[in-house]
Every structure is written in C-alpha cells, then in structure tokens.
Amino acid sequence: WHPEPGPTRDGMTDHLLTAAEAAAYVNVSIRTLARWRAAGSGPVAVKLSARTVRYRVADLDAWIATSAR
C-alpha cells in the first residue's frame, strides 16, 4: 500500500498518515506500531494532540531504510 502524494514543502512530501495507514505501509499491526512508539524503537511519530498521532511518509521510509538488515 502506498499513499497518494500529499502537499509538498521545499520539494519534500509532507503527507501525514494515520496510525492505521502507517501500520499498513510498514506491514505491521496498529498495536505493534503503538508498542514500538512507546518503546522508542519505531518510526518517528508526530503527536498532534494528546490522542492524535500521525506519521510522515518520509519518516516511515527513512525508518524502513535504517531498519533493513
């Protein structure tokens, strides 16, 4: 699953994904993504409010690249 390109700023995609979309993007469950976020081992998350978390596509791609073995 790959999201549609979002608005750009300085030529970089700044599209924000929900936790469900981000989990699908990296092919894990939402719960696994939440555990990684709590442990500080997952991709960078953007906290918009106390209950709202989003993920940048660029951050997910960077995390995948550094996590690949």
Q: If you write DSSP's letter for every residue of the chain in order, what string do you get?
A: --PPP--EETTEE--EE-HHHHHHHHTS-HHHHHHHHHHT-S---EEEETTEEEEEHHHHHHHHHHH--
**Stretch 60-67: mean pLDDT, rounded?**
93
Q: Which pLDDT value is given to residue 15?
A: 85
Q: Which two tokens stand for residue 18?
A: 């929900």
Torsion, Cα 19 24 27 28, to 10 degrees, reads: 40
pLDDT of residue 11: 46
Q: What is the pLDDT of residues 11-49, one digit of tens each?
A: 445 689 999 999 999 999 999 999 999 999 999 999 999
Tell me, what's the pLDDT at 68? 76
